[in-house]
Amino acid sequence: MGHLPIRVSTLKSDIKLGFDIYVQLPHKTLLYARGQDDIESHRIGYLKNKKVRKLYIDDKDEQHYQDYIDKCLTAAMQDDSISLEDKADLVVGSGEATAERIYEDPHSKKSYDAAQHTATNLINVLGQSDEILKGIFDHKLSEDNSTDEAKMQKHSVNTSSLCISFAEHRKLPKSSVEFLGVAGLFHDVAYATFSGDKKHLFFKEVSEMSAEELTLYKDHPKIGADILSDKEFASKEVFNLMLAHEEKMGGNGFPNKLMKLTPEQETLSICAFYDREVTCLGKERDAVLEDFKINQIGNYDLKVIKEFKSFVKKAGL
């Protein structure tokens, strides 16, 4: 039987686990907590202090773990004594674990199902608190986990969360919000298929890419969408959104140089662009919003740009 990694940041005390938890040592795996128990707060604190990020569960307990996360999120959102930072840690930990899984195994139904589950949880928690979106964006990567892979996982969770919140702000249909939540998590999955020295393109200004680099980078929406296009379990709406996440109005985007965007396509494109600038390129949020007034006019509908800037500022992003 195999083991599935889980993140310490998704654990909450005083809630029965429902599955055994293991710690992995160099040459053996040891039982750390039994499923019939909860895990005490001091033990969670000890793991965090020791910078232990992952524990392990049996593969067969995956659904029990998902049920546990649901209970933890529900309990945390209803508990006023829990700080916004701790609530955001729980949400981000769950989301980034799913993003990590997507990048490691993008073709599997289990990864897609996890993305759907995570999107549903994000919709629920974002709908319960106006502050959670800011908490997700303000969540910093730890010094010992600031790799490019970690940044891409954060970018996925941020984009998904922003898509959900902005789509609901725009009053898009509920089904569209759900598709956008999943597409936000999956949109840059092509990153997993790029060779090591080409992965840096996801952290480079498009304007600074060589002709060869730009040709490769412009293929990434199609490469990512193709991963899901032949999967019976994947929604056509999701991979069509993935394919269009770099499109802009007037044929200024790629890979298909669309002249017009649907509200859903425009929502994913503008949200993914904003967080790429912030999370992947390391720009200040105010500078990115200022750039909209200069370089993004014509790429998005002017009304949508104004609406997005107003929404982001109101959310404290």
pLDDT tens-place string over residues 57-72:
998 998 999 899 989 9
User: Angle of helix 263-275 relative to helix 148-169, nearest 10 degrees?
Assistant: 140
What distance in Å separates the CA atoms of residue 253 and residue 275, rounded to the nearest whole number? 17
Residue 74: partners with Cβ closer than 8 Å, 6 or more residues away: none
141 pLDDT higher than 80 = no
Residue 156 · residue 180 · CB < 8 Å: no
pLDDT tens-place string over residues 113-125:
999 999 999 999 9
Specify the range with the lowest mean pLDDT, choosing from 2-16, 113-127, 178-192.
Answer: 2-16
Among 78, 8, 67, CA closest to 41: 8
Cβ atoms < 10 Å from Cβ of 141: 15
CATH 1.10.3210.10 in the chain: give the residue spans. 83-315
Residue 12 · residue 75 · CB < 8 Å: yes
Name the pairing type of β-strands 3-7 and 54-58: antiparallel
Read off the pLDDT band of 1 (50, 70, 90).
low
145 pLDDT higher than 80 = no
- Region of 282 (left: φ > 0; alpha: ψ -120 to 50; beta: rest) is left
- Tell me the HSE value of 75 on the side-chain side, using a 13 A CA sphere: 14
- CATH node for 83-315: 1.10.3210.10
Read off the pLDDT band of 196 (50, 70, 90).
confident
- Which residue type does 51 have? K
- The better pLDDT of the pair 204, 196 is held by 204
Q: How much is the average pLDDT of 297-309? A: 93
